[in-house]
Amino acid sequence: MNEISYPSEYFSVKATLECGQLFRFEPYSVGYKVYSADKACYIYEKDGNTIISSSDSDYFYNYFDLARDYSAIYNKALSYGIPALSRAAEFGKGIRILRQNEEEAIYSFIISQNNHIPRIKGIIGRMCAALGDEKSFMGEKFYAFPSSAAMAQKPASFYKELGAGYRDVFLAETARRISGEGIAELTSLPTPALKQRLLTYKGIGPKVADCAALFGFGRTDSFPVDTWLARVYAEDFSGTATDRKTMTAFFEGLFGEYSGYMQQYLFYAKREGALK
DNA sequence: CTCCAGGCTTTAG
DNA sequence: CTAAAGCATGGA
């Protein structure tokens, strides 16, 4: 086990975990256990620092993107002079965008569509327990996120029994395709081409493609618009369009390479009732 | 009870 | 091309 220490000002455990970008974490002791792919860490705050304890510290250094200077991102948010965004950035100052596994992000956000976060966590947890390799961390067992090969062996009915609802066929078909084709060729594509390719998978529409691109492929020029960001657009930016494609184009045009960070500030603040 | 959730696919116009 | 119905499930 190794420990990483990083100042909490730009690394809030609660804000980073509770801002809706990941679904595999649980309260433990004074912090949380976090699971990603087949790895685990224990994370907590102590004396103004955020501590990551893991036997895969290199993995989690990258996962939490600790090489990036978030003071520049926070100050960028304030520089736009948009009251709602300034408030959101202040509220979510400690948020960091995670660099998650690509396939885990794809499946997780397919499950997330038209769904509540507690239920999303439940479906993913049951999927890992049923199909993921058993691992051990700090004396407790946990399950890795399943491989596409393991997922591809199950029919749609299996995912419905896990509670996935109508997304059952999306999971089964996407798993079969990724298991056969792989995703290696996607990683080198520029963001617009990457999104275009993601849209060809069953169950991936514009919003899920944006989330997979942002959280799985590290594309911070993506601005996912869900029901909460649609409200932000109308209520806090006085937007008049009603289709989400226009909203995404508006925000990405405004924020460019910083889109993903600004989106996450706004999402977290809106959902927690900190705007308005 | 109805409404809604980090929306997508399918069908109709 | 855009618009709207239908979709599984469970919490508020």
pLDDT digits (tens, 9 = 90+) for A158-181: 999 999 999 999 999 999 999 999
**Which residue from A144, A121, A136 is spatially nearest to A20, judged by alpha carbons?**
A121
Does the pLDDT value for residue A276 go beyond 90? no
Query: Does the nearest atom of strand C lie within 7 Å of A118's Cβ?
Result: yes
Distance in Å, residue A155 CA to nucleotide B5 C1': 26
Q: DSSP state, A145?
A: P
The answer to whether the beta carbon of residue A202 comes closer than 7 angstroms to any atom of strand C is no
For the CA atoms of A134, A136, A139, A141, what is the dihedral angle to 10 degrees? -20
How far, in Å, are A8, A70, A154 from residue A48 at the CA level?
Answer: 6, 16, 46
CA atom of A212 to C1′ atom of C12, Å: 29
Closest nucleotide to A109's CA, by C1' atom?
Answer: B6
Model confidence pLDDT, tens digit, residues A41-88: 999 999 999 999 999 999 999 999 999 999 999 999 999 999 999 999
**A243 CB-contact burial (10 Å; exposed 0-12 / middle 13-18 / buried 19+):** exposed
Structure tokens at A140: 């407790």
Task: Name the residue closest to the C1' of C9 by its CA.
Answer: A165
A206: Cβ under 7 Å from strand C? no
- pLDDT tens per residue across span A110-142: 999 999 999 999 999 999 999 999 999 999 999
Please determine, for residue A260, whether its predicted confidence score (pLDDT) is greater than 90: yes
The residue that minimises its CA distance to C1' of C12 is A116
CA–CA dist A243, A237 (Å, integer) = 15
H or E element, residue A156:
helix A156-161
**Residues, chain A:** 276
What is the spatial distance between Cα A108 and Cα A226, in angstroms, rounded to a whole number? Answer: 15
Query: Cβ(A4)–Cβ(A52) under 8 Å?
Result: yes
- What pairs with residue A16 in β-bridges? none
Collapsing DSSP states into helix, strand and coil, what is residue A62? helix
* Protein-covered nucleotides on strand C (Cβ within 7 A): 3, 7-11
pLDDT band of residue A225 (cuts 50, 70, 90) is very high
Q: Which two tokens stand for residue A165?
A: 């609802």
Helix, coil or strand: residue A172: helix
> Does nucleic acid strand C have an atom less than 7 angstroms from the CB of A114?
yes
Nucleotides on strand B lying under 7 Å from protein C-beta: 4-9
